[in-house]
């Protein structure tokens, strides 16, 4: 278990855990969270097809259970607007005048708008491929919707969640790696990654480096006996609104 965290990350961690215990509790903790990103730079990809407007709808796990029923009420009545992020920078030209430099970045911003209560919040989404499987790393870019959505609640204070992403015609399927799934792999010594055990919530929080997480995904991401993506508790289907 790795406790070698710098002071800034430790403060964020403690604040995150306090919010997690207060607002989420143990029953609704569907996704595994990580202090570090799940990808390494060389695996990042850009896919134009994900850009656009989408309607989100929950997808039940193949082996549905009562423990996952609450997911149908969380972040599933939202529209998603996904666009590649383009940074803007003011630079001086040769004549000393200001000009704006636009530079496309290697990630997307997904803006979620709730239909029921007009809550708005956004995620930075980095797409990456490992063994020809497409994944998405989610991290919030704002703090809105903490009490509104499980995606925000589980990703609050700069922690990452991981989803497998499949694209089929005008649909995108997202399946998030679950906390229970990772817990089982760690307890059965199938995977060795650094983590913290949060006694109050009875949950794991990954502290492994991006490189270590990339190795975990490469070894186990395509093995159904270890990670059954069709049976994760948090799944969404995004349907194009074009």
Mean pLDDT across 192-217: 84
Cβ neighbours of residue 194 closer than 8 Å, sequence gap 6 or more: 1, 2, 206, 207, 208, 209, 212
Check whether 154 has a pLDDT greater than 50: no
Look over the chain and give the mean of its residue pLDDT values, rounded to a whole number: 77
Q: What is the pLDDT of residue 65?
A: 52
pTM, two decimals, is 0.80
Q: What is the pLDDT of residue 6?
A: 54
Q: What is the pLDDT of residue 242?
A: 77
Check whether 72 has a pLDDT greater than 90: no
Supply 172's token pair: 């995108």
Residue 78 pLDDT level (bands cut at 50, 70, 90): confident
Question: CA 194 to CA 208: how far, in whole Å?
Answer: 5
Q: What is the pLDDT of residue 163?
A: 95
Which residue from 33, 30, 26 is spatially nearest to 68, judged by alpha carbons? 30
Are the C-beta atoms of residues 242 and 82 closer than 8 Å to each other? no
Percent share of the chain, pLDDT over 70: 71
Q: What is the pLDDT of residue 101?
A: 80
Residue 79 pLDDT level (bands cut at 50, 70, 90): confident
Q: What is the pLDDT of residue 162?
A: 94
């Amino acid at each position: 278990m790795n406790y070698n965290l710098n002071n800034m990350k430790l403060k964020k961690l403690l604040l995150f855990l306090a919010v997690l215990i207060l607002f989420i509790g143990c029953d609704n903790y569907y996704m595994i969270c990580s202090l570090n990103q799940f990808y390494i730079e060389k695996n990042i990809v850009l896919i134009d097809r994900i850009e656009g407007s989408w309607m989100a709808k929950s997808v039940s796990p193949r082996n549905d259970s009562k423990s996952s029923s609450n997911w149908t009420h969380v972040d599933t009545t939202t529209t998603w607007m996904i666009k590649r992020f383009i940074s803007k920078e003011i630079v001086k030209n040769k004549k000393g005048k200001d000009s704006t430099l636009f530079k496309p970045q290697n990630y997307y911003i997904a803006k979620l708008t709730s239909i029921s209560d007009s809550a708005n919040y956004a995620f930075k989404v980095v797409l990456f491929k490992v063994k020809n499987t497409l994944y998405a790393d989610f991290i919030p870019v704002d703090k809105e919707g903490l009490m509104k959505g499980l995606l925000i609640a589980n990703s609050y204070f700069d922690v990452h969640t991981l989803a497998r992403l499949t694209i089929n015609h005008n649909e995108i399927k997202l399946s998030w790696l679950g906390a229970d799934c990772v817990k089982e792999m760690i307890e059965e010594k199938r995977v060795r990654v650094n983590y913290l055990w949060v006694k109050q919530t009875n949950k794991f929080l990954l502290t492994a480096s991006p490189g270590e997480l990339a190795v975990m995904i490469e070894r186990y991401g395509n093995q159904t006996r270890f990670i059954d993506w069709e049976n994760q508790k948090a799944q969404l289907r995004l349907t194009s609104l074009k």
